[in-house]
């Protein structure tokens, strides 16, 4: 489905538009992989200053690479390892302002400087995480957290 690339002055408006577009893309499609692929494409298209956006999904007790946009990435992440694995253990959104000073970060792309990881729950069970990287330090704040947690809430209504 065609998506118009609109840019807004505020993060609030940006996330309202992103989340509206997500609903339009996924609401009538019963295909989890396709929906996560389009969800990562929307993030990459509509949010500025990113170099990776995608999913790691729980598989056999670890996180496995799912649909994404960006450079090829590490395939398996143990629960507890890296920012994604920490998110899986703690079950809450992780914001890392400077990945180079973060003791528990797995580098996929050396140009990444900051990162946000949002947990994905279905019926109380962790099914994966949404991971987004930026080449700029401190790219993600509480407004991004709120907007992306809503994004994940919407997506989880339609997948799994
Ligand atoms: N940085 C992540 C690994 C995945 S890549 O960023 C795509 C982490 O520390 O878990």
* Stronger pLDDT, 120 or 103, i.e. the higher one: 120
- Give the chain's end-to-end CA distance (angstroms, integer): 22
Regarding the beta carbon of 84 and ligand 1, being less than 6 Å apart is answered yes
For the stretch 132-159, pLDDT in tens is 999 999 999 999 999 999 999 999 999 9
Evaluate if residue 46 carries a pLDDT over 90. yes
Out of 83, 89, 112, mutate this one to test ligand 1's pocket (max ligand atoms within 8 Å of CB): namely 83
* CA-based radius of gyration for the chain: 14
Q: Nearest C-alpha to atom 2 of ligand 1 is from which residue?
A: 106
* Residue whose CA is at the smallest distance from ligand 1 atom 3: 106
Which ligand 1 atom sits closest to the C-alpha of 112? 6
pTM (global) more than 0.85: yes
Q: Which domains does the chain have, with CATH numbers?
A: 11-156 (3.30.450.40)
Q: Tell me the two tokens of residue 3.
A: 């998506």
More confident residue, 1 or 95: 95
Residue 53 β-bridge partners: 69, 132
Inform me whether the pLDDT recorded for 103 exceeds 80: no
Average per-residue pLDDT for the chain? 96
């Amino acid at each position: 489905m065609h998506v118009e690339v609109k840019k807004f002055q505020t993060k609030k408006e940006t996330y309202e538009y992103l989340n509206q577009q997500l609903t339009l893309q996924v609401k009538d499609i019963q295909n989890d992989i396709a929906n996560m692929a389009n969800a990562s494409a929307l993030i990459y298209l509509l949010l500025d200053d990113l170099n990776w956006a995608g999913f790691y999904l729980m598989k056999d007790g670890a996180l496995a690479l799912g649909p994404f946009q960006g450079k090829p990435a590490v395939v398996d992440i143990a629960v507890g390892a890296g920012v994604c694995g920490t998110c899986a253990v703690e079950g809450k959104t992780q914001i890392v302002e400077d990945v180079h000073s973060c003791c528990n970060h797995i580098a996929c792309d050396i140009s990444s400087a900051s990162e946000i990881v949002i947990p994905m729950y279905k019926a109380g069970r962790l099914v994966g995480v949404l991971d987004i990287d930026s080449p700029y330090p401190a790219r993600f704040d509480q407004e991004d957290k709120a907007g992306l947690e809503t994004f994940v809430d919407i997506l989880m209504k339609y997948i799994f």
